[in-house]
Amino acid sequence: MAGSDKPQIYLLTPPEFDLPSFRDQLAAIMDAHEVACLRLSMATRDEIRLSRAADALREAAHARDVAIVIESHLALARDLGLDGIHLVDGARSVRKARSALGKDAIVGTYCHASRHDGMNAAEAGANYVAFGPVGASALGDGTLAERDLFAWWSEMIELPVVAEGNLDTGLAASLAPATDFFGIGEEIWRQEDPAKALAGFVRALG
């Protein structure tokens, strides 16, 4: 995952899905829109279900030159031929993940709204950091990753940054000049036509 002038789409799977129908839907979306990376972000801890999903989605992603990472499950990232891992504990596990997966793997991590955590993750060898949520929600403690954080990061730090969490097209357009990737998942999957919803975000990014 490398940054470019225009922010890229970093697609997150829903936490729960029917694999055959979702794989087809995902393939159609990746055919219609340029996706930089796919994150398998299932809520289940069933290793068999996770492995089946990873195998199917890896095949679909790699056929379209899209990298695929899995959230949190280090052993599965290593054993299933995925491109890397997305961590959710800031800088804490970055060195361990890098050591386990090797120098060529993608290791990214979610740092909430903590500049300090992001900098530590960068120093520990992360390929990207994600900040969020960027949009308001009744979930969580109400802390948002503000535009100032992304603006500071993009000016001071070379490491790519991902904006995610309760996005809408207005927020995406506002953050686009200071963000390398937009992590988009439930924002489109809960819509009747996810491909059309993603097209709206793509337009917002210019």
pTM of the model: 0.96
21 vs 27: CA distance, rounded Å: 10
Q: Which helix (H) or strand (E) holds 197?
A: helix 194-204
Q: What is the mean pLDDT of the chain?
A: 96
Q: What percent of the chain has pLDDT over 70?
A: 98
Residues 13-59: pLDDT tens digits? 999 999 999 999 999 999 999 999 999 999 999 999 999 999 999 99
Query: Would you say residue 1 lies in a domain?
Result: no
Residues 96-151: pLDDT tens digits? 999 999 999 999 999 999 999 999 999 999 999 999 999 998 878 889 999 999 99
Q: How confident is the model at residue 4 (pLDDT cuts 50, 70, 90)?
A: low
Query: Would you say residue 194 lies in a domain?
Result: yes
pLDDT at 137: 86
Residue type at position 10: Y
Number of domains in the chain: 1
Residue 86 backbone phi and psi in degrees, to 5: -110, 120
Angle between helices 194-204 and 19-32 (to 10 degrees): 30
Which DSSP string do the residues of 103-167 spell out, in sequence order? TTSEEEEE-TT-HHHHHHHHHHT-SEEEE---S--SSTTS----HHHHHHHHHH--S-EEEESS-
Query: Would you say residue 120 lies in a domain?
Result: yes
Query: Would you say residue 118 lies in a domain?
Result: yes
Domain region containing 124: 8-204
Query: Would you say residue 141 lies in a domain?
Result: yes
Calculate the alpha carbon distances from 45 to 41, 49, 51, 63, 71 in Å.
11, 8, 10, 27, 11
Look up the CATH number of the domain holding residue 141.
Answer: 3.20.20.70
Query: Would you say residue 76 lies in a domain?
Result: yes
The Cβ-side half-sphere exposure at 162, using a 13 Å CA radius, reads 30
The Cβ-side half-sphere exposure at 56, using a 13 Å CA radius, reads 18
Instruction: Tell me which residue of 165, 114, 161, 175 sits closest to 135, measured CA to CA.
Output: 165
Residue type at position 134: V
Beta strands 67-71 and 84-87: pairing type? parallel
Query: Would you say residue 3 lies in a domain?
Result: no
Query: Would you say residue 2 lies in a domain?
Result: no
